[in-house]
A and B are shown apart, each in its own frame.
Chain A
Amino acid sequence: MNGALRIQVSQLARRSVLRTLRQPAQIVPALVFPLFLLAVNASGLQDATNLPGFPTDSYLTFVLAVPFIQGALFSVMNSGTDLARDIETGFLNRLALTPLHGAALLSGLLAGSFVLGIVQAAAYLSVGLLAGAELAAGPAAIPVILALSVSITVAFGTIGLFAALRFGSGEAVQGLFPVFFVFLFLSSMALPLDLLTTDWFHAIAAANPISYLLAAFRSLLIEGWEIGPLLLGFGIAAAIMAVGMFAASSALKTRLVRT
């Protein structure tokens, strides 16, 4: 990275991080909502562990993977809404008049998602472990869980950037939230794939990448060190990030031509 690009990225990253930290409305729901659902689901579905073949006797441990994905979904909204606001207020147009590199803009904007991802992951893991969840892989897995969570959060953040650049409206970005929630709901969120007894639901969940992101977290929480699910989880996050960045870069070019 040359000096100019480094300065551009750091300035935009600083702005993105400060902007995220100064908006409790972005941070609080991203922390409270997943933790509330964690508490309700962990208690309400504890009896699911009595099903033959359920991988653990603690539903809390099983469902602790879910807040990491829910938190990442908030990243789509936050990164996308921030950029959409920049478009709506004309800030992007002003940036376009500077010699700013497109990659610097996108990378810098993701810094807010990165920081929020760390805060979220630390909060979910701390609350989960304090509430009695197990961590089969031991304390050494904590940085891996944080890294996986941040990777997914940033990867989903790129989709938010793409949506903002493509539609140029915060309302359109907000409208994506239910769509992404559908992906979460149609996954192995509540029960392991093997215990999804409804055929069509099993087929959808098995094809849904979210199921494998959840499996990566669960491998560390329930099984211990299993390299396969972890590699798959990081690989899917990397693939989403690559596709999201490519799409956002293309949309940025189009957006700048338009303006």
Chain B
Amino acid sequence: MIAVARAVAWRSIHNFLTNPAFLAPAVMFPLFFFVSFAGGLAAIGDVPGFDFPSGYTAFQFVFVLLQSAAFGGVFTGFAMARDFESGFGRRYMLAASRRSGIVAGYALAALFRSFVTWVILTAVALVAGMQVDGSGVDIFGLYALAMLVNVAATLWAAGVALRVRSIQGGPLMQFPVFLILFLAPVYVPLDLLDGWIHTIASINPVTALLEAGRGFISGDPILVAASFAIAIGLTLLFTLWARGGLRSAEAAG
């Protein structure tokens, strides 16, 4: 299984690094979100009741980090769907001794592409003056959370890609992730949200991930156990989802 995963991951990473059409959006999108939110909405940090100690740039950095983690997984799902649409996926299925290694390989590639994005995003945020008040352990917690989000999103997208086996399934992978991310406290803390968005954000699991991430960066960790439990739970749930997708792809021949 490890050999299969390594081979699939290597090909995906090679494609990612050598094709600007894949590399550029993965890096540019999170940067534009970060620039737009942290730069364009900086005044939101002055709204009465907004008291995030590390400032608005750090507040938005956490959202963009987790968003890039999730979309790194979704974009890998696109690559998987493209491979199955072109017939390359079937060759993987014929060649692999353990087919779960194929999904594992894509997941490794998704982690790698997210690492590339995070390095650039973090560098840009620090150059832009982002204040980091968390300790080394806190920051490790933040990136560990992002890694789990990335794996969960990859497994979600893989489940869709293996069932649809066409790039036409792209919106089905992307839209639910987009929806759940933006129905969380993106711009202001949960306490400052009112009405329906507050109700939805209160039950949205991404809210706990965001609040934990923001706690890590400000050196005041909150909801740590809950956020990791949610992230691990999602990963386990989507592992089953991806395994079902693999069965579906196998049944399709």
Contacts and interface: CB of A to CB of B under 8 A. Distances in A.
Given A37-B182, A40-B197, A186-B35, A47 B47 contact: yes
A196 B43 contact: yes
Interface string A40-51: 110111111011
Given A43-B197, A44-B193, A175-B21, A51 B35 contact: no
A69 to B, nearest CB: 14
A186 B36 contact: yes
A46 B194 contact: yes
A145 interface: no
A51 B186 contact: no
A interface, size bucket = 20 to 34
Interface stretch (B24-32, B98-106, B138-146, B222-230): B24-32
A45 B49 CA distance: 13
Interface in A170-194: 175, 178, 181-182, 185-186, 189-191
A48 B44 contact: yes
B188 interface: yes
Given A198-B39, A200-B39, A45 B44 contact: yes
A201 interface: yes
Interface in B158-192: 171, 179, 182-183, 185-188, 192
B237 interface: no
A50 B47 CA distance: 6
Interface string B39-72: 1111110111110000000000000000000000
A178 B197 contact: no
Contacts of B48: 47, 50
B42 A44 contact: no
Interface of A: 29, 36-37, 40-41, 43-48, 50-51, 175, 178, 181-182, 185-186, 189-191, 195-198, 200-201, 205
Given A40-B186, A47-B49, A178-B25, 18 more contacts: A40-B182, A43-B195, A43-B197, A45-B188, A48-B41, A51-B43, A51-B46, A51-B47, A175-B21, A178-B28, A181-B32, A186-B32, A186-B35, A190-B40, A191-B40, A198-B39, A198-B40, A201-B40
Q: Which 7 A-B pairs have the closest CB atoms?
A: A43-B197, A201-B39, A185-B36, A198-B39, A47-B47, A44-B187, A195-B43
